[in-house]
Amino acid sequence: MSKKKKKQQNKSNKPSKIIVWIIGIVAIVIAVIIFLSNANTSSNTNSANEIDYDGQPFLGEESAPVKIVEFGDYKCIHCKNFNDTLFPQIKKDLVDTGKASFYFINYSFINTDSIRSAKFAETVYKELGNEKFWEFHELLFENHPGNMESEKKDVLTQSFLEEALSKIATDEETKKVMDSFEKDSADAAWKTDMDMVKELNVQSTPTLFINGKKFEGSSYDDLKKAVEEAANKE
C-alpha cells in the first residue's frame, strides 16, 4: 500500500473517532445530570411541607414549637394500637410538657365506616368544640374491637356513633350534632383533610408528620429525637 493511500485512510478515520468522542462526552454529561437530579430528589424526598393547621383539632399549646400530626382512620387497627400504646407517652412527655402540640387529620380509606366516623367526629368538633372532640376521639378507639376482622364489618353505623356520643354529651348536645351531621355540615372539613392526604402523598395510617416533615423513624426514641431536632431548628 502506498504512503498516499495510508494518509487518506488516516484522514477518513479521524471524523469517526471525533464522533465517538463526542458521543462519549454527551453520555457522561447525561449521566452526571441524571445523578445530580436523583441526588437532589432523594435529598428533598423528606423535606418539610407546608401544612395548614387552621381549623384542625389539636391537643396542647397552639404556640408549641413543634407540631405533630397524625393522619389516621378510626377503622384502622394500627391506629388503635398507636392510640393505646404510643399516644399516651407522646401526650405525657411531649404535649403536656409544652414541647409539642398534637393534631389529628383524617385519612379515611378502609371502607364506608371510615368516612362516616371521620365526618361524625368532624361534626362533633364543629358543634361541640375541641375538648369534646378529643373525648369522642378517645371513645371511638376505646370501642375499636382491636382485630383485623372488624375492619371488614360495618360497625361504626350512625346509631353506634350517636350512642357513643351520648355517653359524653348531653341530650341537647347529641341532638345538635345529629342534626348537623344529617345536613352534611362537616363534609367540607373532611374533604380538606383528604385533599391534604393527596398533597402530602400519605399512603397509610397512622402516618406522622413533625413540623411538616414525614416521620420515618421506627421507635418512640426516634420520635422524641425528631421532636427535639425540630424544636432546635425553631
In this prediction, residues 18-33 reach a mean pLDDT of: 45
Split at pLDDT 50, 70, 90, the class of 147 is confident
Domain ranges within the chain, ordered by starting residue: 1-43, 58-233
What are the phi and psi torsion angles at 43 (to 5°)?
-75, -25
The pLDDT tens digits of the residues spanning 178-232 come to 999 999 999 999 999 999 999 999 999 999 999 999 999 999 999 999 999 999 9
What are the phi and psi torsion angles at 106 (to 5°)?
-75, 135
The pLDDT tens digits of the residues spanning 122-139 come to 999 999 999 999 999 999
C-alpha cell at position 83: 392510640
Helix orientation angle between 77-90 and 220-233, rounded to the nearest 10 degrees: 60
Residues 6+ apart with CB under 8 A from 123: 177, 180, 181, 185, 186
What type of residue sits at position 167?
K
Candidate from 34-38, 50-54, 70-74 with smallest mean pLDDT:
34-38
Which residues are 101's β-sheet partners? 67
Q: In what order do the strands lie in the sheet with 66-72?
A: 58-59, 100-106, 66-72, 207-210, 213-214
Q: Quick one: pLDDT at residue 52? A: 95
In this prediction, residues 5-16 reach a mean pLDDT of: 50
For the segment(s) 58-233, the CATH number from 3.40.50.1100, 3.40.30.10, 3.40.605.10, 3.10.150.10 is 3.40.30.10
36 pLDDT exceeds 80? no
DSSP state string for 112-124: HHHHHHHHHHHHH
